[in-house]
A and B are shown apart, each in its own frame.
Chain A
Amino acid sequence: MSTSSPALPASEQVRSDLLRPLLQTSWKFYVLVAFLGAIVVAALAAWVTQMTLGFGISGIRWPVYWGFYVTNFVFWIGISHAGTLISAILRLVNAGWRRPVTRCAEVITAFALIIGAMFPLIHLGRPWLAFWLFPYPSERMIWPNFRSPLVWDFFAINTYLTGSLLFLFLPMLPDFAIVRDRATGMRRRIYGVLALGWRGTPTQWHRLETAMQIMAVAIIPVAVSVHTIVSFDFSMAPVPMWQTTIFGPYFVAGAIFSGIAGLIIAMAILRRVLHLERYLHPVHFQNLGKLMLVMALLWGYFVFNERLVTYYGNGASEMQVFWRTQRLTFAPLYWTMVVCNFVLPLVIMGISRFRTITGCVIASIGVVIGMWLERFLIIVPSLGHKYLPYSFGTYSPQPVEIVITVGTFAAMTLLYVLFAKFVPIISIWELTAVQHPSPALIPPATAEHPLGETHA
C-alpha cells in the first residue's frame, strides 16, 4: 500500500462515475426489475390469498402461533441496523473510510425497516383491523393496551423509521442538487423538489452539519431501543428460553451483526454491478469484516452465556427446549446456525489472508443465513415445546409463507436497485471534498485510508 499522498480522482471524474447509473440504463436493468417485480407481485398475491382463503393456508398451528412471518419481522428489523447505527457511529467517530459506505448502509436501514414493519401486518389474523393499534380517540374511547410489547413495537419502529428516513435524506440534499443541476426537463424539476432548494451556501452547509450531528447522536439510542423492544416481544412472555434478561443486548448485537453482513453483501454487489471499484476498496470490506468479527465474538459470547445458564440452571421446561435445539429435532438447524454465525466469520475474518472481498462476502452470506436461523430457532422450538408436553407441536412452513419470505428478499433487492438507479448510491459531495466549503463535515484522508485510490 502506498504511503505517498494519493492521487485523488478529479471531482468531475467522481461525479461522472457516480452519476453514470442514473444516466445510462441497460436492458439488464429492465430484466432485473421485471424479474424482481414479478416475485414481489407473487408475494403480494400470496398475502391477498391468505386474507381471502383464511390464515389457515399458512403453516401456523397450535401451539406454534408464530413462524416464518415473525422470524422475518425480527430478521429484517435486525438487518435494518446495518445502516443507521453503523453510519451514525462512524460519523460520530469521524472514521475517514466510511465516506463511500454510509449511504449504502442507510438505504438498507430504510428499506429493511419498511419490509420488516410489513410483517406484523402480514401475520395478523385480521389485518383489516390493524388500525386498532394506533392510539386514536375512537368514539368508544378504547385505546391500545400500552402494557403490550406489541404497542411498544409500534411506537419504536415508527420512531426509528422516521429517524432513519431523515438520516438518509439529509445528506442526500447536496447530491440531489448536483443531479438537479445536471438534469433537464422533468427530471430537473423532480430532483429540484427533492433538493429542497439546496444551493450550497455556507449557512446551508452549517445547518446540514448541525442536523447531521443531532441525528447521528439521536439515532443511536433509538436503534438500540428498537431491537431491545423487539426482543421484549419475546422476553416479556413466560415462554421457556424466551424469558431471559439477556435478550435486549443479545438482539441488539445480533441485529448489528446481521446488519453488517447485509451491508457487505450490498456493497459487493454494487461494486461489481455499478463498477465502483474506485470508490469501494478492499479496505472498506476489511474494516467492516473486522467489525463483523467483533460482533461474531460478541454473538458467540451471548449464545454461550444463554445456553450455559440454561443448562446449569436445569429448569425442566427450559431443558425441553434446550434439548430440542441442541440434540433433537432442531439440532441440524441449530448447528448450522453456530457454524454460520460463529465458526465461519471467525475463520474467514480472523485470518487476514482470507479477509478479501470474496471472503467477506462468503462470511456475510453465512451470517445472514445464520441470523435468520437464529430468529427461527428462538421462536419455533420454544413455542412448540412450552411446558405441558401433551400440547407440544411442530411447525412446517407452507408455500404461502415461503413465497412471502422470498418476496421480501426480492422486494429488498428491487427497492435497492431502484434507489441506486435514481439516487447516487455513494455520496458524491462527501467524496469531492476539494470543493467542499465546510471541511469539518469531511473526515480527513489519512495515509491508511486514502480517498479515491484505486487498488489493483
Chain B
Amino acid sequence: MPHRWGMAADLDRCNGCGACVVACAAENNISTVGAEQAALGRAKHWIRVERYWEGEFPDVRLKFRPVMCQQCDNAPCEPVCPTYASHHTDDGLNAQVYNRCIGTRYCANACPYNVRFFDFFNPSWEKPLQLQLNPDVSLREVGVMEKCTFCVQRIKAVTVQVAAEDRELKDGEITPACVQSCAAKALVFGDLNDPESEVSRLSHSPRGSKLLEDLGTLPKVTYLPRDTEA
C-alpha cells in the first residue's frame, strides 16, 4: 500500500515559540526578503504560527495555531493550475513542480489556507550565507510559486533508504524540519495508511478537527485543540 503522509498538531503542546518557522526556512532554502519587501507583504513563511486574541483585558486569551500546507486530498490548488505545476503525488502530497510553474498564481488564490508564497524576485543570499543552502532542495527563481512540501526531500531520503534495506518504515523515522525542531513535540508526522502510527492515532482522535473542514478540501493535517480542563 502506498504511503499517505499526514501531520497532527497538538495545540495543547504548541506554545507558539516559532522554532518551526526558522527550522523550515533553514531546511528549505527559503530566502529572506528583507524589511522593505516584508513591508510589502512578500515575506515567505511556509509554516506560520497564527495567533488570535480572544476577549478583552483582563479576560483575554491568545490562541496559537501553526499553519502549513494542509496537503489536501481534494486540493483546490491542483485543478486550477494550467500547467500541472501543482499536482497530486501517489503518496498524497500536493507537489509543486517549480520548473513547470509559469506564475499565474491561481493556485495561491484558490488555496483557502494562504500557504503558497510567490517569488517576487530572484532569491539572493549575501555571501557567504549561501554556504548554508541545503543541496537537497532546489532554489526557486523569480515568478514561481513555492510552498510547504512536508519536507519531501527528507521523505524521499528515508523511503529510498528503507527500500534499499528492504524493511518496513518505522513510525517517526521521517521528521520534517518543523516536526524535528519542536521541543514540545506539538507536531507529529507519519503515514496515515499505517493504522498503528502516532499520526493515525491522533488523526482519529475525537479531539481532532481539520482546518476549514467544511470547504471539503480533505486536509491531511489534524488539529487537536487546546484543552481547557485538566
A122-130, A190-198, A302-310, A346-354: which lies at the B interface? A122-130
Instruction: Check A150–B104 contact: CB distance below 8 A.
Output: yes
The SS class assigned to the B binding surface is loop
Instruction: Check A132–B102 contact: CB distance below 8 A.
Output: yes
- Centre residue among B101, B109, B120 by max chain A CB count within 10 A: B109
Instruction: Check B142–A390 contact: CB distance below 8 A.
Output: no
Residue of A nearest to B142 (CB): A54
| B76 CB → nearest A CB, Å | 5
CB-defined interface of B149-178 with A at 8 Å, one 1/0 digit per residue?
Answer: 000000000000000000000000000000
Instruction: Check A149–B80 contact: CB distance below 8 A.
Output: yes
Instruction: Check A62–B82 contact: CB distance below 8 A.
Output: no
Instruction: Check B117–A125 contact: CB distance below 8 A.
Output: no
**A205 adjacent to chain B (CB < 8 Å):** no
B6-14, B40-48, B182-190: which lies at the A interface? B40-48
Instruction: Check A125–B83 contact: CB distance below 8 A.
Output: no
**B144 adjacent to chain A (CB < 8 Å):** yes
For B52, the chain A residues whose CB sits under 8 A away are 389-390
| A236 CB → nearest B CB, Å | 7
Instruction: Check A387–B102 contact: CB distance below 8 A.
Output: no
Out of B42, B83, B100, which one reaches A62, CB within 8 Å?
Answer: B42
Complex Cα distance, B48 from A123, in Å, reads 27
Instruction: Check B142–A386 contact: CB distance below 8 A.
Output: no
Complex Cα distance, B113 from A390, in Å, reads 10
A27-35, A87-95, A139-147, A293-301: which lies at the B interface? A139-147
Those of B101-133 within 8 Å (CB) of chain A: 101-106, 108-110, 112-114, 117-122
Instruction: Check B212–A125 contact: CB distance below 8 A.
Output: no
Complex Cα distance, B211 from A56, in Å, reads 30
Residue of B nearest to A237 (CB): B110
Q: A387-B114, A388-B114 are in contact. Are A54 and B102 (CB under 8 A)?
A: no
Instruction: Check A125–B103 contact: CB distance below 8 A.
Output: yes
Residue of A nearest to B76 (CB): A238
Complex Cα distance, B117 from A63, in Å, reads 8
Instruction: Check A125–B105 contact: CB distance below 8 A.
Output: yes
Q: A56-B37, A145-B79 are in contact. Are A388 and B67 (CB under 8 A)?
A: yes
**Interface residue tally for chain A (C-beta within 8 Å):** 45
Instruction: Check B83–A145 contact: CB distance below 8 A.
Output: yes
| A90 CB → nearest B CB, Å | 36
For A142, the chain B residues whose CB sits under 8 A away are 83-84, 100
**A151 adjacent to chain B (CB < 8 Å):** yes
Instruction: Check A236–B80 contact: CB distance below 8 A.
Output: yes
| A121 CB → nearest B CB, Å | 10
Instruction: Check A145–B101 contact: CB distance below 8 A.
Output: no
Residue of B nearest to A234 (CB): B109
For B43, the chain A residues whose CB sits under 8 A away are 62
Instruction: Check B112–A386 contact: CB distance below 8 A.
Output: yes
Out of B110, B114, B143, which one reaches A126, CB within 8 Å?
Answer: B143
For A62, the chain B residues whose CB sits under 8 A away are 41-44, 108, 114, 117-118
For B84, the chain A residues whose CB sits under 8 A away are 142, 144-145
**B145 adjacent to chain A (CB < 8 Å):** yes
**A416 adjacent to chain B (CB < 8 Å):** no
| A14 CB → nearest B CB, Å | 49
For A149, the chain B residues whose CB sits under 8 A away are 80
**A391 adjacent to chain B (CB < 8 Å):** yes
Complex Cα distance, B82 from A236, in Å, reads 13
**A61 adjacent to chain B (CB < 8 Å):** yes
**A344 adjacent to chain B (CB < 8 Å):** no
For B83, the chain A residues whose CB sits under 8 A away are 132-133, 142, 144-145
Complex Cα distance, B104 from A389, in Å, reads 24
Complex Cα distance, B42 from A393, in Å, reads 11
Out of B37, B41, B79, B142, which one reaches A148, CB within 8 Å?
Answer: B79
**A169 adjacent to chain B (CB < 8 Å):** no
Out of B110, B143, B217, which one reaches A124, CB within 8 Å?
Answer: B143
Complex Cα distance, B101 from A388, in Å, reads 25
Residue of B nearest to A126 (CB): B143
**A66 adjacent to chain B (CB < 8 Å):** yes
Residue of B nearest to A152 (CB): B82
**A65 adjacent to chain B (CB < 8 Å):** yes
CB-defined interface of A243-281 with B at 8 Å, one 1/0 digit per residue?
Answer: 000000000000000000000000000000000000000
Instruction: Check A238–B112 contact: CB distance below 8 A.
Output: yes
Residue of B nearest to A390 (CB): B50
Those of A220-244 within 8 Å (CB) of chain B: 233, 236-239
**A383 adjacent to chain B (CB < 8 Å):** yes
Q: A56-B37, A145-B79 are in contact. Are A387 and B112 (CB under 8 A)?
A: yes
Q: What would 7 A/B residue contacts be, using CB atoms closer than 8 Å?
A: A55-B118, A60-B105, A60-B118, A62-B41, A125-B105, A126-B102, A236-B110
7 pairs of A and B residues whose beta carbons are closest in the complex: A125-B103, A125-B143, A56-B120, A61-B41, A391-B114, A65-B105, A54-B121
- 18 extra A-B contacts, CB within 8 A, seeds A61-B120, A239-B112: A56-B121, A56-B142, A60-B120, A62-B41, A62-B42, A120-B104, A123-B105, A124-B143, A126-B142, A142-B100, A148-B81, A148-B82, A154-B82, A238-B215, A386-B112, A386-B114, A391-B67, A391-B113
